[in-house]
Chain A
Amino acid sequence: MGTEPVIELLDVRKVYEMGAVRVEALRGVSLRIEQGEYVAIMGPSGSGKSTLMHILGCLDVPTGGTYHLAGEDVSTMDDVELAEVRNRRIGFVFQQFNLLPSLSALRNVELPLSYAAVDRATRHRRAREALGRVGLAERLDHRPGELSGGQQQRVAVARAVATDPALILADEPTGNLDSTATADVLALFDELHQAGRTVVLITHEAEVAARAARVVRIRDGAIVDDRTAAVAS
């Protein structure tokens, strides 16, 4: 990665055509996020924040403009290439946790590693380490249903970091958590940030965004504000 920015969006546009209706979800977004930054993207619903998150997460491609993720142009990739980029470069944390209920915490964390064709022994080791880092070393064999919401989200964070991605992309990660668990998970993001990871957090809660060093506000498909706080966290 070197000195390359992790994220470089240039005039990214996204247009949805639904029959005769044409919705412009993103109207020329340019954004540059350097390695090691902790960025919160804020915006009300309908602002294009989800669309931006999908494009940042390589779940969707822009209809205009370019997107370089860790130096790679992902705006022209097909489904298969995008799947591989997601696997290698991005660690997702979702609002709904999105853990597979039938699998143990360990196997949930192993999931992205299995798609990366990492051999079993290495997979086990890395998943254990990741769970250890989020403080769940004792809960490896628990299924999501046997864990609290906060613990589940910590498993999800472990899953996101297990592949050692360039970008950790969290979509409303505290939206389903009570205040204790929220503080818990946000502390975890702080730790990741301090460990030098690039974290992009999408939220509509100001107190969550306040933890980030840089807050990007989006409205009507465009960035309206982008400021870096003098002091982080």
Chain B
Amino acid sequence: MTWADVLRNGWDAIRNHKLRSALTSLGILIGIAAVVLTVGLGQGAQKQVADRLSALGGNLLIVSPGSSTTSGVRGGFGSASTLTTADADAISSKEAAPDVAGVAPVLQSNDQSLVNGSTNWTTTVVGTTPSWLSVRGRQLSSGRFLTAADAKDAAAVTVLASDTARELFGPLNPVGQSVTINDVPYEVVGVLTSAGSDSTTNLDDQAIVPLSTASQRIVGGTSRTAVQTIYVKASSPSRLGAAYQETDAVLAYRHGITSSSAADFSITTQQSVISTTSSVNSTLTNLLIGVAALSLIVGGIGVMNIMLVSVKERTREIGLRKALGGTPAIIRRQFLCEASMLGLTGGLLGVATGVAGAITLPHFLSEPVTLSVPWICIAIAVAIAIGIGFGVYPAARAARLSPIDALRSE
């Protein structure tokens, strides 16, 4: 008996019991659709985070004061003041750090009250240099960004992020208007476009002022040159590693540090943030896949159940097939083929349902769903494997039947 005959027999058997086959496949269908959707949701969320972070500068290094090592005693006081504007200038040197495309030192103060007439809004004031815009990969929706002249004069100008602008000015264009910070009026010169939020902060709720302005009028403190964070942008994502090493070398040299464990600064990449987010996501995805896998097992048990019923019901047919020359191997193959076809049918319909869900779901949920072809192929393979796996026992029973007993059954 050729494979074509075996497949044809299997297909005939499935067609002869349309409703039963459909219900059996339904079990597999649900499981496969769930796998396709959960994987799609997981990958969609991951992609969204990755997209967002790369839009904010996927080639970004973040230099913070203090060592990332936690062992040992970090000597001295005021670790927050180990980075200065001079450090930032040194990193921007093309000779010392050729793979660095831009540097933005930042001095920020949380919970600053911004006032526009009777409206008042508490937000984060970020003091930085004109290069911040390109380093953080942001765009303006109106007005202009900070200029070198603003920095030089420690001008009382500010650029508002979109949420902040809306809270203070409503639908009006704030450019040219003025807001009061610490009793000092600042002219709003520009508004940023929306960038969403990263894992910790709302990037659309902040007010940007020149670094000099922030250090003199807002943050205060003893050192006028200290900064909290230095953002370093590598010339390309592939040069991120090189930029990391150059930044590390420049700062180590400037701070007179000889061993990495003594470093009084730490450098993190957006990549590490992405991987943290991904790991949270993948935990959730794994959990959902576990649930889907469970439903696949239940579906598989359904296949086994139906195959056992089918073997019982078709005892006479099996006896006849054996009498006419069907060897146990051929009989086994026939039933395995039927079971795998049930699995395949469920798998294909499940993928179809999953894809349909992936297309419609984003309209109802604000979650993107990414369909991945390899996962769809895996899902179909799993569906067939489940059919075969749960078909082994019923098929073995069919193959073992003695032709005499089978023919004698009514």
Question: Interface residues, chain A, CB within 8 Å of chain B?
Answer: 54, 57, 59-60, 79-80, 83-84, 86-88, 92, 94, 98, 100, 102-103, 111-112, 114-117, 159
| B246 contacts A by Cβ under 8 Å | no
Q: Which of B296-353 contact A (CB under 8 A)?
A: 316-317, 320-330
In the complex the two chains form, is A79's CB within 8 Å of B327's CB? Answer: yes
Pairwise interchain contact B324-A115, C-beta atoms closer than 8 A: yes
Q: How far is the CA of A117 from the CA of B329 in the complex (A)?
A: 14
State the Cβ distance, B196 to closest chain A Cβ, in Å: 60
Cβ–Cβ < 8 Å partners of A103 in chain B: 12
Chain B residue numbers with a CB within 8 Å of A80 are 327-329
Is B317's CB under 8 angstroms from A112's CB?
no
Q: Does B1 contact A (CB under 8 A)?
A: yes
In the assembled complex, B403 has its CB within 8 A of some CB on chain A: yes
Interface status of B201 (Cβ within 8 A of chain A): no
Residues A57 and B324 in contact, CB atoms below 8 Å apart: no
Residues of A close to B1: CB separation below 8 A? 114-115, 117
Complexed CA–CA distance, A182 and B281 (Å): 75
| Contact of A100 with B325 in the complex, beta carbons under 8 Å | no
B148 within 8 A of A: no
Chain A residue contacts of B404, Cβ below 8 A: 54, 59-60
B191 to chain A, nearest CB (A): 73
Query: Are the C-beta atoms of A115 and B407 separated by less than 8 Å?
Result: no
Query: Which of these, B324, B328, B329, B330, contacts A112 with CB under 8 Å?
Result: B324
B71 to chain A, nearest CB (A): 70
B156 to chain A, nearest CB (A): 89
Which residue of chain B is the closest to A159 with respect to CB atoms?
A: B324
Residues of B within 8 A of A (CB): 1-2, 5, 12-13, 16, 316-317, 320-330, 403-404, 407
Residues of chain B within 8 A (CB-CB) of A114 are: 1-2, 5
Q: Are A111 and B2 in contact (CB under 8 A)?
A: no
Q: State whether A100 touches B328 (Cβ < 8 A).
A: no
Contacts of B328 in A (CB 8 A): 79-80, 83
Q: State A87–B1 Cα separation when bound (angstroms).
A: 12
Give Cα A194 to B267, complex, Å. Answer: 100
The answer to whether A115 and B12 touch across the interface, beta carbons within 8 angstroms, is: no
Contact B327 A84 (CB under 8 A): yes
Could you jot down 25 A-B contacts, CB within 8 Å? A59-B403, A80-B327, A83-B326, A83-B327, A84-B325, A86-B323, A86-B325, A87-B324, A87-B325, A88-B325, A92-B323, A92-B324, A94-B407, A98-B320, A98-B407, A100-B320, A103-B12, A111-B321, A112-B325, A114-B1, A115-B1, A115-B324, A117-B1, A117-B2, A159-B324
Secondary structure class of chain A's binding surface, majority of residues: helix
Could you say which residues of chain A place their CB within 8 Å of the CB of B327?
79-80, 83-84
Q: Within the complex, what minimum Cβ distance (angstroms) separates B296 from chain A?
A: 30
- CB A55 to nearest CB in B, in angstroms, measures 10
**CA separation between A213 and B334, bound complex, in Å?**
42
| Given A114-B5, A117-B1, A59 contacting B326 (CB threshold 8 A) | no
Q: Which B residues are CB-close (under 8 A) to A117?
A: 1-2
CB proximity of B135 to chain A, nearest CB, Å: 72
Which residues in A have their C-beta under 8 angstroms from that of B316? 98
Residues of A within 8 A of B403 (CB): 59
In the complex, chain B residues whose CB is within 8 Å of the CB of A86: 322-325
Complex Cα–Cα for A60 and B323 (A): 11
Partner of A116, one of B12, B13, B323, B325: B325
B12 / chain A contacts, CB cutoff of 8 Å: 102-103
Closest A residue to B399 by beta carbon equals A79
Q: In whole Å, how far is B392's beta carbon from the nearest beta carbon of chain A? A: 19
Q: Counting chain B CB atoms within 10 Å of each CB, which of A80, A83, A84 scores highest?
A: A83
Min CB distance B326 to A, Å, is 6
Task: Please determine whether B324 and A111 come into contact, CB atoms closer than 8 angstroms.
Answer: yes
Among A54, A60, A88, A115, the residue within 8 A (CB) of B326 is: A115
Question: Using Cβ atoms and an 8 Å threshold, which residues of chain B touch A159?
Answer: 324
A-B complex: 7 closest residue pairs judged by Cβ atoms: A87-B325, A115-B325, A112-B324, A83-B327, A98-B320, A102-B16, A80-B327
Complex contacts, A88 vs chain B, CB 8 Å: 325
- What distance in Å separates the Cβ of B281 from its nearest Cβ neighbour in chain A? 50
- Shortest CB distance B294–A (Å): 35
Across-interface contacts of B323 in A (CB, < 8 A): 57, 59, 86, 92, 98
Q: B321 contacts which chain A residues (CB < 8 A)?
A: 111, 115
Cα distance A115–B324 when bound, in Å? Answer: 8
Residue of A nearest to B325 (CB): A87
**CB of A157 to closest CB in B, whole Å:** 14
Q: Could you say which of B316, B325, B330, B407 has the most chain A C-beta atoms within 10 Å of its C-beta?
A: B325
Are A83 and B407 neighbours in the complex by a CB distance under 8 Å?
no
Complex interface: chain A residues within 8 A of B2 (CB) = 114, 117
Q: Considering only CB atoms, which chain B residue lies closest to A83 in the complex?
A: B327
The CA-CA distance from A112 to B1 in the complex, in Å, is: 9
By a CB distance below 8 angstroms, the chain A residues around B13 are: 102
Given the complex, which residues of B lie within 8 Å of A102, measured CB to CB?
Answer: 12-13, 16
User: Chain B residues near A111 (CB, 8 Å)?
Assistant: 321, 324
Smallest distance from the beta carbon of B21 to chain A beta carbons, Å? 13
User: What distance in Å separates the Cβ of B330 from its nearest Cβ neighbour in chain A?
Assistant: 7
Known: A54-B404, A60-B404, A115-B321; 6 extra A-B contacts, CB below 8 A, are A57-B323, A59-B404, A86-B323, A98-B320, A100-B317, A115-B326
- A54 and B321 CA atoms in complex are apart in Å by 15
Complex Cα gap A117–B404 (Å): 24
The reply to whether B322 and A83 form a contact with Cβ atoms under 8 Å apart is: yes
Question: B321 to nearest A CB, angstroms?
Answer: 7
Rounded to whole angstroms, the CA-CA distance of A88 and B325 in the bound complex is 8
Residues of A within 8 A of B325 (CB): 83-84, 86-88, 112, 115-116
- A83–B401 Cα distance when bound, in Å, is 13
Min CB distance, B397 to chain A, in Å? 15
Q: Which residues of B contact A84 (CB under 8 A)?
A: 325, 327
Determine the distance from Cα of A92 to Cα of B330 in the docked complex, in whole angstroms.
19
Most buried by B among A84, A88, A111: A111
